[in-house]
Structure 1
Amino acid sequence: MLNIEPNLARPDDFYEALIDLHRDLDDAQSQSANAQLILLLANHIGAHDVLLDAIRHAREGALRGAPAPVAQTGEREAGRLAAA
């Protein structure tokens, strides 16, 4: 079962690391990094039904224009990073 409740021990630290992943990358490199991260995490999860549920949730959120659950927890960090 896909857990969509906040579940990160240190969400702001994770969000900062995610922003740092993209720092100084061009668009193609950034898209490649996203794809590689998604595939690494999908491989770690491994459960096909959970992955399909995550894909469905992500698509529905994108169509609604809603932020992902992790992004919601890291919004404070995003604001802090943008101000820095």
Structure 2
Amino acid sequence: MKTILNFQDADLFYEQLLDAHQGLSQPQSELFNARLVLLLANQVGDAKVLQACIEAAKDIPK
């Protein structure tokens, strides 16, 4: 799993993500996020990397 910034343009991606949520209801926004996660996971493909990402995402600062 990559742990250093690997975006070509992180700000552009963030803007695109915010734009994609514009006008969506809460359920539509949650469905969009779920679909996006599955599409990105398919791009990664490696089960061990995906598991490492899941574990890293669960480590939420309190």
TM-score, length of structure 1 as denominator length: 0.71
Structure with the higher fraction of residues in helix conformation:
1
Q: Which residue of 1 aligns with 2:27?
A: 28
Give a deviation string over 1:30-57, Cα, whole Å, max 9, x none.
Answer: 0000000000000111100000000000
How far the C-alpha of 1:4 sits from its partner, in A, is 1.6
Number of corresponding residues = 62
For structure 1, the residue ranges without an aligned partner over 5 or more in a row are 66-84
Runs (5+) with no aligned partner, structure 2: none
- Kindly indicate whether structure 1 or structure 2 has the higher relative contact order, using CA contacts under 8 Å at least 6 residues apart: 1
Quick check: 1:11 aligned with 2:10? yes
Instruction: Name the TM-score, length of structure 2 as normaliser.
Output: 0.95
Identical aligned residues as a percent: 39
CA RMSD of aligned residues (A): 0.8
Q: For 1:38-49, what aligned pairs fall within 5 Å after superposition?
A: 38-49=37-48
Distance across 1 between alignment mates of 2:52 and 2:27: 27
